């Protein structure tokens, strides 16, 4: 059964990637009344969803089942605010939400030295990591089942440096700190060519999630994934190619670029539109 789920999970991700790349047809001028229907097709909800009992899981803060895979300072590279103090550490599970973390002492000065601004709690809290992972979900399956739930909605699990995971490094991989071997997964991913499916592999985190789906299905629990296909992070492979190759990048039209850099001038004219005005 495990081999079937390996294939199914890979196939699912492939289908979703293809589906997300497909745009609705352009409406003709003679059919303006159907514009909204073409651009925003309303598909009927599946029958099973009518009486489903949902449980939403934000994995990073659900349960730390494996402290050995906790994020490190280096794992935060590429996420807002763009730096982490040298004394950064994960946040204890029992800490009061509004209590400052130990490494917050002097963080404003550190931010200024890094040309950043952390004006308040909402900005500082972006540096927090609790170490939640997939093992934590495995550990709590009996509890979840006892609640009578019939589906789990996962906030993004894709490999990303932020706490929320909406800034993916890779869409096709489960975050390396959610699995049992972050360093090994990093080495595997580094050997891939993201544009060449023949080089794609299953990481330990990918396999662990496939196993989790299998265990959930055995209990009659469906699994829904939150993906945001119109977002990438600073460490996303196509974005990095765009930064290097500018208008010559094969992925130049994947982003809203206002102006490309002119190599004949000093400085950079590269300017782009980020989601909601957020450049990261």
Q: Where are the domains of the chain?
A: 2-19+45-65+131-225, 73-127, 237-277
The C-alpha atoms of residue 125 and residue 186 are separated, in whole angstroms, by 26
User: What length does the chain have?
Assistant: 280
Q: How far, in Å, CA of 232 to CA of 49, rounded?
A: 29
The Cα–Cα gap between 165 and 175 comes to 8
Q: What is the DSSP letter of 45?
A: P
State the pLDDT at residue 185.
98
φ and ψ at residue 146, rounded to 5 degrees = -65, -20
* Strand ranges across the sheet with 222-225: 54-57, 151-154, 222-225
Query: What was the pLDDT predicted at 38?
Result: 56
User: What number of other Cβ atoms are within 10 A of residue 189's Cβ?
Assistant: 21
**End-to-end C-alpha distance for the chain, whole angstroms:** 40
- The pLDDT value given to residue 246: 96
pLDDT of residue 12: 44
Task: Write down the pLDDT at residue 26.
Answer: 42
pLDDT at 9: 41
pLDDT score, position 280: 75
C-alpha–C-alpha distance, residues 131 and 185, integer Å: 17
Q: Put residue 277 in one of left, alpha, beta given phi > 0 → left and psi -120 to 50 → alpha.
A: left
How much is the pLDDT for 5? 38
Calculate the alpha carbon distances from 214 to 27, 132, 177 in Å: 42, 20, 21
> Sign of the C-alpha dihedral, residues 10, 12, 13, 19?
positive
- Tokens standing for residue 28: 């003709």
Q: Which CATH fold would you assign to the domain 2-19+45-65+131-225?
A: TIM Barrel (3.20.20)
Walk along the chain (280 residues) and give the pLDDT tens digit of each residue.
333 334 344 444 443 433 333 333 343 444 444 444 556 778 888 899 999 999 999 999 999 999 999 999 999 999 988 888 899 999 999 999 999 999 998 888 878 887 777 888 998 999 999 999 999 999 999 999 999 999 999 999 999 999 999 999 999 999 999 999 999 999 999 999 999 999 999 999 999 999 999 999 999 999 999 988 888 999 999 999 999 999 999 999 999 999 999 999 999 999 999 888 777 7
């Amino acid at each position: 059964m495990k081999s079937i789920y390996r294939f199914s999970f890979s196939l699912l991700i492939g289908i979703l990637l293809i589906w997300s790349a497909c745009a609705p047809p352009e409406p003709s001028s003679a059919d303006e009344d159907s514009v909204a229907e073409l651009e925003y097709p309303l598909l009927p909800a599946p029958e099973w969803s009518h009486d489903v009992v949902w449980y939403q899981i934000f994995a990073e803060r659900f349960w730390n089942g494996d402290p050995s895979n906790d994020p490190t300072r280096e794992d935060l590279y590429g996420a807002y605010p763009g730096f982490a103090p040298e004394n950064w550490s994960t946040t204890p599970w029992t800490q009061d939400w509004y209590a400052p973390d130990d490494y917050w002492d002097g963080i404003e000065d550190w931010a200024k030295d890094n040309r950043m601004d952390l004006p308040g709690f909402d900005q500082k809290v972006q540096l927090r990591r609790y170490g939640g992972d997939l093992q934590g979900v495995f550990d709590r399956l009996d509890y979840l089942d006892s609640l009578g739930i019939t589906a789990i909605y996962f906030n993004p699990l894709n490999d990303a440096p932020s706490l929320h995971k909406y800034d993916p490094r890779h869409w096709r991989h489960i975050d390396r700190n959610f699995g049992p071997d972050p360093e090994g997964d990093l080495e595997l991913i580094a050997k891939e060519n993201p544009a060449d499916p023949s080089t794609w592999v299953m990481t330990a985190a990918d396999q662990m999630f496939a196993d989790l789906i299998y265990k959930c299905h055995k209990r009659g629990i469906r699994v829904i994934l939150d993906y945001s296909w119109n977002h990438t992070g600073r460490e996303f492979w196509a974005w990095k190619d765009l930064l290097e190759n500018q208008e010559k990048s094969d992925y130049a039209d994947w982003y809203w670029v206002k102006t490309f850099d002119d190599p004949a001038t000093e400085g950079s004219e590269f300017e782009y539109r980020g989601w909601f005005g957020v450049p990261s």
